[in-house]
A and B are shown apart, each in its own frame.
Chain A
Amino acid sequence: MTPKGRHAAGWWALIIPALLLMTAFYIAPILQVLAISVTEPQPGLGNYERLFTSESVQRVIGTTLRIGVITTAIALLLGYVLAYRIAMSGPKAQRWWLLAVLVPLWISVLVRAFAWVTLLRRQGLVNQGLLATGVIDQPLALVWNELGIVIGMVHYMVPYAVLPMLSSMREIDPRVLTAARGLGAGRIRTFLRVFLPLSLPGLIAAGVLVFIFSLGFYITPALLGGGKTLMVAEWIKLQILDLIRWGLGAMMATVLVVAILATLAVLSRLVNLRRLFGAGS
């Protein structure tokens, strides 16, 4: 073995503990979930059959996808505007903006979900304000439904949408924008034909990130959905902890993991994922 080869072997040995940990705490449980989904309550694909036969299973998946898509769309839109604003401001202003975007990330999801409940419930600040100013005469149902879930989730997701888009926008050479205008494109056309296409990688990365996050989101939908609107994660918890239907819960968990992997696989054909999430370039 060459000295270099020995070196390489040495480094590999160093990560073996990490590898073992990964296997023990990450891969093994997933495999076990997979196993449970095809063995409980009896061996076979019975649980997976439910995907095609059970209306409640289909409803949960439908709700999850719908909320995921809506949340992603809104979070991307808000995040894009925010990221654009940040990218266009001076270095000092940028730091303050970035801080403002990141602060919510340091506050517990739980706290934020409860804060939204207090704001959005029938006697909450928003409804009271609207009633007082006479915009409405009946309190609006803003929470404990899909709307509430979407509001809470968008709020949680926006920072995750901003960061990849901002890093993508920062890579755009400002001279290219000047060039577009010098060649006769107005502000809007410069944005549509040059800025938007060049920021597309960040937009896609943010979209994937937010969408995948939303599919498996638990706390916010559980608190703001009020138990009436079920998303996949809460449904799984319900099956396993309350109804003790391990097989069904494990099946849905497997479907979730497969859905996420499939999204990533499709995407990796379209764009360079490593670049997207900022590894090297």
Chain B
Amino acid sequence: MSAVAGHALSLQRVSKRYGDFVAVQDASLEVASGQFLTLLGPSGSGKTTILMMIAGFVEPTEGRVLLDGRDITALPPERRDFGMVFQGYALFPHMTVAENVAFPLRVRKLGRAERDAKVRAALDLVQLDRFAERKPSQLSGGQQQRVALARALVFDPALLLLDEPLSALDKKLRAELQEELKALHRRVGRTFINVTHDQEEALSLSDEIAILNHGHLIQVGAPETLYERPATRFVADFLGKSNFIEGEAEADAGGFVLRRGAARVVASGAPRAGRTLLSLRPEKIALLPEGATEDNVVEGRIASWSYVGTGYALTVMTPDLGNIRVHLPAWRIPVSPAEGLPVRLGWARDAAVAVAEDPGSPVPGGVA
């Protein structure tokens, strides 16, 4: 199935307005052939709208959609030849699994023998060959989801669009199907565009993530880049958790130093001056044992703590920087946590990243 490479898709300054309401504002996006891109954002941020503009169900108010450089903005959905998995699967309830999967082949007028062979191959691919004669209502959620995938893949589309394909499933099944989806992407080598509001799913599946908020495309980049170098406060907060430290920056030898009251926080990166917001991931902070030191050291007391299985989540009240959240694996905690216990927090100079505030406008080009 992987003889054909995926399509490359690009959105050029696409906007969608419903009356006065802006659902998507000036979004530009490049998806390379064979890539797995995820549109990630909270509910109502415009993910489905963007996907529907790519699919051709929603006409952009402004901007163009290009497929391998060809303008397809005006092409009706049935002529775009994209595979689609819809929010809630949208299987045809009056058809069996096999008939559902055969549907795209039927409308493409394939011969019976070829059709049967392809349906069987597609059902094999998602391991549902035994269920071919069942109706969708006789399948579990996960099985229905796989039928939807088989139906979307059976006609070898060069581009697959998935709208929250896993959102209706329980956590364990979701994790399983994420694995399957990823393996499938590797096997078929097509371009996948996935929509989700689950940040873990986005991080584990994607080659690239595009983060949306209030219709703005805020940052696009590889999962590591987005996690390590978030462009704005929203990205840092939505993708994982973060502490925010605000202060006045001035350049120093290794990057810049941020002053907040009596405290100084050193950070690496491009020298900068003026009001600055730092994002600091809770898992990049250590509890320093007696005598140890770090680039940044802050003293405080444990305000609250909880055991979360993979480690401890602490909130440390510091006189200089306010509450700081810390996440540590159990083996890296030198003391047994207790409320009111005095601790010293330390983090390396390159642990914190300067991020922009979200004025509701996209950061041009992002940091990626």
Given A183-B103, A185-B103, A193-B103, A175 contacting B94 (CB threshold 8 A): no
Assess the A180–B92 pair: CB atoms within 8 A. yes
Is A175's CB under 8 angstroms from B151's CB?
no
* Total number of residue pairs linking A and B with CB closer than 8 Å: 63
- Does A181 sit within 8 A of B, measured CB to CB? yes
- Chain B CB count within 10 A is highest, among A182, A185, A189, A194, for A182
Is A17 at the interface (CB under 8 A from chain B)? no
Most buried by B among A176, A178, A184, A186: A184
Total interface residues in chain A, CB < 8 Å: 17
Please tell me if the beta carbons of A182 and B87 are within 8 angstroms of each other in the complex: no
A186 cross-chain contacts in B, Cβ below 8 A? 76, 78, 107
Whether the pair A178, B86 counts as a contact (CB closer than 8 A) is yes
- Are A182 and B92 also in contact (CB < 8 A) when A175-B86, A189-B107, A193-B103 are? no
B93 to chain A, nearest CB (A): 7
Contact status A194-B78, CB under 8 Å: no
Docked-complex contact A184 and B57, CB < 8 angstroms: no
Is B347 an interface position by the 8 A CB rule? no
In the bound complex, what is the Cα–Cα distance between A175 and B91 (angstroms)?
Answer: 9
> Which of B86, B88, B106, B108 contacts A182, CB < 8 Å?
B86
Contacts A175-B87, A175-B88, A189-B107 given; indicate if A182 touches B94 (C-beta within 8 A): no
Determine whether the beta carbon of A183 is less than 8 Å from that of B151.
yes
* Of the residues A182, A185, A189, A194, contact of B84 by C-beta under 8 Å: A182
Contacting residues, chain B, for A198 (C-beta < 8 A)? 93-94
Fill in one digit per residue for A185-204: 1 if any B CB lies within 8 Å of its CB, else 0.
11001000110011000000
A130 within 8 A of B: no
Residue from A175, A183, A194, A197 in contact with B104 in the complex, judged by beta carbons closer than 8 Å: A183
Give the residue name and chain of the B residue nearest to A175 (CB). B90
A residues 30-51 with Cβ under 8 Å of B? Answer: none
Q: How far is the CB of B48 from chain A (nearest CB, A)?
A: 11
Chain B residue, CB-CB nearest to A186: B78
A179 and B90 contact, Cβ closer than 8 Å, known pairs A184-B78, A184-B155, A185-B78: yes
Kindly provide the distance from the CB of B82 to the nearest chain A CB, expressed in whole angstroms: 7
Which residue of chain B is the closest to A198 with respect to CB atoms? B94
Query: Which A residues touch B79, using CB under 8 A?
Result: 184
The 10 A-B residue pairs with the shortest CB-CB distance in the complex, in nearest-first order = A179-B90, A182-B84, A175-B90, A183-B104, A185-B107, A184-B107, A197-B94, A176-B90, A181-B77, A181-B78
A positions within 8 Å CB-CB of B: 173, 175-176, 178-186, 189, 193-194, 197-198
